[in-house]
Amino acid sequence: MNSTTDSGAASLSELSVLVQSLGSPKILVVGDLMLDRYVWGDASRISQEAPVILLKADRSEERLGGASSVASLLAALGARVDLCGITGEDGASHRVRSILDDLGIGHKSVFADPSRPTTVKERYIGRAQHRHPQQMIRVDYEDCKPIHKNLEERLLEAALASLEGVGCVQISDYDKGVCTPGFLIPLIREARRRGIPVLADPIRGGDWNKYSGSSTLTPNRLEAGLAVGRTIETVTDALAAGGELLEKFGLQVGIVTLDRDGMALVRPDGRAHIFPTRPRQVYDITGAGDMVMAVLGMVLATGADYPMAIQLANVAGGLEVEKIGVQPVTIAEILSDLHTSGATLPIRENGRGKIALESEIGLLVNEARQMGRRIVFTNGCFDLLHAGHVSYLAEARRQGDFLVVGLNSDASVRGLKGPTRPVHPEWARAAVLAGLEAVDIVTVFGEATPLSLIRRIRPDVLVKGADYRLEDVVGGDFVTSLGGRVHLAPLEPGLSTTQALEKTRTVEKNPLAGMGGNETRAGAA
């Protein structure tokens, strides 16, 4: 693959403008419709009848799932959605149609099949001590046999008739029998003939030839690994898999979603990029893939390019995992997250560059070690980079040949420094550190201490400031047990982020306080 400096990454302001101009594109969603049921309650004791947790239910809820979930997420973003699929002929079917009506989602191309039940996923969610809800068990009601030929023909006819004015076709395949080759292949062919982008969220395993000719697929690392016949452990693996999928299935671009590590994008000319996402507090991964799919389709339907679509999909997917169950992410939430978190993390070309994902840091360090380099590690918040930081990092680099800097995430900084910190978001702090010659790799970690990161890196030298005692350095015992050493670097007197912020606040309250002695006396005179 060819390296390039043109990643197509959008700035924060460009992404914000795009979000506000998405409008109401028409999108056709085809695939497996489902009904998601949630039963909530307190899980506070063990049943007397059996050694199982007793859930004292206090409320229940029904939401759309599968392809209908993608449709609902698109509708919440403002899209005009037509849905094509099947249900059973039962109470769950009536409930699905009622919710579709409430959301304004067109379903004239949703047909009932009396030979099968409507797919239902029933989740039981318990709260420990009246808080911290967690999914306890899921019960599925379904029939996954392929649909009958006559129903397949009816679906295809309805889908083709719905293509007029469509900005994107989204295929949501959960392997429940709707997405047959006889349905998808002619639909994809006609959509592409009309210049309509086609996105397919593929099944896990099985024959993917039915998606051939799609604009792109959105497999996760496990699904992509099964498709190419090997495990995807690193971003380099993901980029290679994306290129294989692109060629094998005649795609416009290859995409592999990498959960907390973001997304990999490969273009036909060999250009390849990793689009990172920032660390999140994960409450429930349910619906994250659907959310990513919805935003990709929404953005591509407006004519925007893949990098912009992926960056916004990363943001929306991250917001989704912070919710319990599948809940819509709104335009307002995406805009708020863009402005408060700095969503445009620097793009790493072909899995290389100075800013590394935590999941790949081990591989990068091992490569450096195999080249005979002595690995040095240090960490910090590096909120307002000043001359003391520059001197400290240069001193750290002199202790070896390859300096890895662990950067506290925004959440981690808040936990250490309080709610007013950090001043700059992690993506901006990482970009500034990466610009220093002394720094070889920057990686963000979300824990309060870097101990797990140190264990993964196994540095030869661990560096902290001289204001620490050797016995207080986190990870020091581990490093010395491997034969490494801890180095306490001297600090520049009078230089610290806390002092700089205090001085700024003082000057804001009394502008004269920021002047030197002579200037202050002159002003007073």
327 and 239 in contact (C-beta within 8 Å)?
Answer: no
Give the whole-angstrom CA distance, residue 373 versus residue 249: 41
Classify 18 as helix, strand or coil. helix
Does the annotation count 290 as an active-site position?
A: yes
Q: Which residues, in sequence order, are bridge partners of residue 256? A: 264
The full DSSP string for 372-389 is TPPEEEEEE---S--HHH
User: Six-digit token pair at 329?
Assistant: 């992410």
Residue 276 sits at the vertex; the CA angle it makes with 270 and 280, to the nearest 5 degrees, is 155
Q: Which residues, in sequence order, are bridge partners of residue 273? A: 265, 349
The full DSSP string for 302-351 is TT--HHHHHHHHHHHHHHHHTSSSS-PPPHHHHHHHHHHHT--PPPEETT
Annotated catalytic residue within 284, 290, 383, 440:
290
Classify 269 as helix, strand or coil. coil
User: Six-digit token pair at 166?
Assistant: 């469509």
Count the Cβ atoms, other than its own, within 10 Å of residue 114: 9
User: Six-digit token pair at 467?
Assistant: 């204001």
Give the whole-angstrom CA distance, residue 478 versus residue 462: 10
Q: Which residues are catalytic?
A: 290
